[in-house]
Amino acid sequence: MNLANWLTRAAKAMPNEYAIGYGRFPYWNYEELGQYAARIAGGLRTRHGLAEGARVAIVARNCPDYIAILFGIWHAGLVAVPINAKLHGAEIAWILEHSGAEAVFATPGLDTEIAAHCPDNLKHLFTIRFGAYLDLLTCEPLDLQARAPDDLAWLFYTSGTTGKPKGAMLTHRNLAAATYGYLIDVDPTAPGDGLLHGAPLSHGSGLYALGAIARGATNIIPESGGFDPEELFDLFASWLDTSMFAAPTMIKRLTEFGGDIDASRIRTIIWGGAPMHVADIERALDRFGPCFAQILGQGETPMTTTVLSKATIANRDHMRWRARLGSAGIANSIVEVRVADDDDRPLADGETGEILVRGDSVMPGYWNNPEASAEALRGGWLHTGDVGAFDHEGYLTLKDRSKDVIISGGSNIYPREVEEVLLRHPDVREVSVIGRPHPDWGEVVVAYVAGSADPGQLDRLCQDSIARFKRPKDYVFIEALPKNNYGKILKTELREADRRRRG
């Protein structure tokens, strides 16, 4: 059960269908994409000697080659490690070392960042569209390598409250199940449909590319390689029946953008990664019409916890429309979801507890982290760390996050990671990082600091150590952080103090 079989099948059955679009124009058909992937596979296994199951990282901005590389890795019987291209070089190096990656593909510019922090286990650095990468494309195509359903396919590094990322192990079975859940419940897709990648392929957008390949649809890559409202409007106008995955902040920017758009060309815009305010959803519906769907998921069970369907979001006449609109939807078809108390006992409708998930999309554990795996999967259920409640119709409403994750612009930021950097400064006695509500980004990072450090020095310290989007937007200096009787910092009190401070 090798996921790359979906591409091999499409290359044979529909060779002339467009597999990749770049900007407004076709780029590769399925026969061409299949050949590229098979040659990349041949080069990795035969020319460079990677053994079955070796980890291969991708640190790249969105580009047509990304999907060819991803499927080439799987075609070769290897494991993909997609890494956020916005991370700092030191953060990328940590993931490369922890995963034991032997090779990495990088877009120009990112290759020099990786080379400057290169771990000893990394043997091959391929700069996309240059040098050794082009040599891969001259290799003999490799036959599709057999993989078992529970063989590892994708290592997704998602941070925890300990500050260091954890590698969620996703198997071929996990990713196939997640794809089925997407195609059944979220966005049924037909050959020739489009999927526009305005969000990073290293995250949710890349997972949705699997459904497009499985169904013979077209993956459309913006020429900018990222999110630009004017460009995305132009691409929606250039391709028919096109969908896109987006963070709520991206949808808000699209809604506020002043350009003209023919919304009839948009099939589905799926949001996830963070809750969306009801007022923002209503404005988006008024602008673009009934094309929105919502998913709830996380790296440990990608995109497949709950779904709020297009039909539900569009049904303004329903007496509970607003209540449903404020929810995360109903359980995805491929999983079971329950709300449980502190002893993992299921709770009745209306009662609030931790959200647990069980099903074929749930990871088997974290890479080289048995303790965290046992804790997250105790009793056979994934403990998501999110808190919510079901209503009598089966709609799940998120109440809070039991973990202190900050979600800014759809990206997860974990306070401990930022705190550890700030604590390196000799004039910082203690620090606690919280999220502050923001109308555009959902939340921004705020650091409460006990000490006499200069804010500019703290900002430079973060700039040298972590990604730009994780840096605090405000530093608040106080005499001491609030703590309970056991010495634990009370972030709830800090959030309340921050709210009062802002009026």
Regarding whether 145 and 269 lie in a shared domain, the answer is yes
Regarding whether 361 and 454 lie in a shared domain, the answer is no
The answer to whether residue 395 is domain-embedded is: no
Task: Please state, in angstroms and rounded to a whole number, the distance separating the CA atoms of residues 240 and 31.
Answer: 22
- Residue range 354-377, pLDDT digits in tens: 999 999 999 999 999 999 999 999
Regarding whether 93 and 203 lie in a shared domain, the answer is yes
Regarding whether 175 and 35 lie in a shared domain, the answer is yes
Higher pLDDT, 322 or 212: 212
Q: What CATH number corresponds to the domain at position 417?
A: 3.30.300.30
Regarding whether 224 and 144 lie in a shared domain, the answer is yes
Q: Are 445 and 468 in contact (CB under 8 A)?
A: no
Among 328, 357, 390, which residue terminates a domain? 390
Domain of residue 442 covers 406-501
The answer to whether residue 187 is domain-embedded is: yes
Q: Are 56 and 78 in contact (CB under 8 A)?
A: yes
The answer to whether residue 248 is domain-embedded is: yes
Regarding whether 78 and 17 lie in a shared domain, the answer is yes
Regarding whether 185 and 161 lie in a shared domain, the answer is yes
- Residue range 5-38, pLDDT digits in tens: 999 999 999 999 999 999 999 999 999 999 999 9
- Residue range 97-136, pLDDT digits in tens: 999 999 999 999 999 999 999 899 999 999 999 999 999 9
Q: What angle do CA 39, 45, 49 make, to 5 degrees?
A: 140
Task: Please state, in angstroms and rounded to a whole number, the distance separating the CA atoms of residues 356 and 395.
Answer: 14
Tell me how many helices (H) and strands (E) the chain has: 17, 25
- Determine the pLDDT at residue 160: 47
Q: What CATH number corresponds to the domain at position 71?
A: 3.40.50.12780
Q: What is the arithmetic mean of pLDDT over 369-393?
A: 95
Confidence of residue 162 (pLDDT cuts 50, 70, 90): very low
Using a cut of 0.85, tell me whether the model's pTM lies above it: yes
Regarding whether 366 and 453 lie in a shared domain, the answer is no
Regarding whether 271 and 157 lie in a shared domain, the answer is yes
Mean pLDDT of the chain: 93
The answer to whether residue 398 is domain-embedded is: no
The pair phi, psi for residue 470, each rounded to 5°, is: -90, -10
Regarding whether 465 and 371 lie in a shared domain, the answer is no
- Residue range 247-292, pLDDT digits in tens: 888 898 899 898 888 899 999 999 987 778 788 899 999 999 999 9
The answer to whether residue 401 is domain-embedded is: no
**Count of CB atoms situated within 10 Å of the CB of 12:** 11
Domain count across the chain:
2
Rg (CA), the chain: 23
